[in-house]
Amino acid sequence: MSAADPRPLAVFLDALTLGPVDLTPLEAHCRLRCWPVSTPDQCLERLEGATVAITNKVPLAGELLDRLPQLRLVCTASTGTDQVDGAACRRLGITVHNAGAYSRPSVVQVTWSLILALRGGLEERLQQWRSGAWAASPVFALVEPSFDELAGQTLTVLGAGSIGSGVAAVGEALGMRILRLTSRSTEAELEQALREADVLSLHAPLTIATRGLLDRRRLAWLRPSALLVNTARGALVDTDALAEALRAGHLAGAALDVLPEEPPSAAALAALQTVPNLIVTPHMAWVSRQARERLVHTLAGHLAALER
């Protein structure tokens, strides 16, 4: 790219987070500079002269934004924008765009994979095959442990966005009763919906109000037969309290695709491996090939708007 190229400079601070995906659609609208990863201390130097900052998980604090007078646009390569100081952006006149509903089909699919695995006791069934228990059976099928059908059960969806709506639609197709909670739901409505839930699926953004939302007190509202699935943000759930509930049998099972600290420490993962009826996956619900391609094209659309 020529040094005289007059197009705006866009800097992607953590392009490695998207894995192997074609970023050339972004280059149609800007000069693109990609860094695999960036620490907060490296951001000022790397963003100097940039019109656009693209970040997946690198935090952009107000103190940093104050020192970047040329910055006009921040694009998050994610659905959430909690990594960006929104108040500072509004004060400085910097536009913030997220990647919208790019991951909806992918996250809905993985959410239901986790729900079905938990409710069907898939992990234990796989062990029966691998251990030889099925081969040793005197009859053609292993009946125990049995599982309950989702039809007729209650699915409580926390989060009224596109992904939450998609998860609810699948639940309806399976014959489930759906309860929806939004940011406007009252504490009383939250309590009732959790007490009635057979499955609780989290799809809320991480905000000051939602951080630690599922704490020890609220987890106790769930039935002992209930399942909890979190494919949203790890900090929505007090994982220590969740582990206690699972160990005590106060909750039938849980699946976490997200954790409060990512990547988690080896010690944190080792502690979770001892928790019964818990599935942990490495923040992969959004990473389908199609979702990552849609994300890039969404970012390209935000960059194209600079030309208008």
Given 283, 292, 294, 302, the catalytic residue:
283
Contact 76, 52 (CB under 8 A): no
Instruction: Enumerate the β-bridge partners of residue 95.
Output: 73
Alpha helices, DSSP H, located in 135-215: 162-173, 187-196
Is 233 noted as a catalytic residue in this protein? Answer: yes
Is 250 catalytic? The answer is: no
Contact 27, 5 (CB under 8 A): no
Considering 29, 104, 203, 233, which one is annotated as catalytic? 233
Strands 9-12 and 31-34, sheet pairing: parallel
Which of 100-138 are b and which e, b meaning 16 or more Cβ less than 10 Å from the residue's Cβ? ebbbbbbbbebbbbbbebbbebeeebeebeeeeeeeeee
**3-state helix/strand/coil string of 9-65:** EEEECCHHHHCCCCCHHHHHCCEEEECCCCCHHHHHHHHCCCCEEEECCCCECHHHH
- Active-site annotation holds for 123: no
Q: Report how far apart, in Å, the C-alpha atoms of 98 and of each of 21, 259, 264 are.
A: 18, 21, 24
Residues carrying an active site annotation: 233, 262, 283
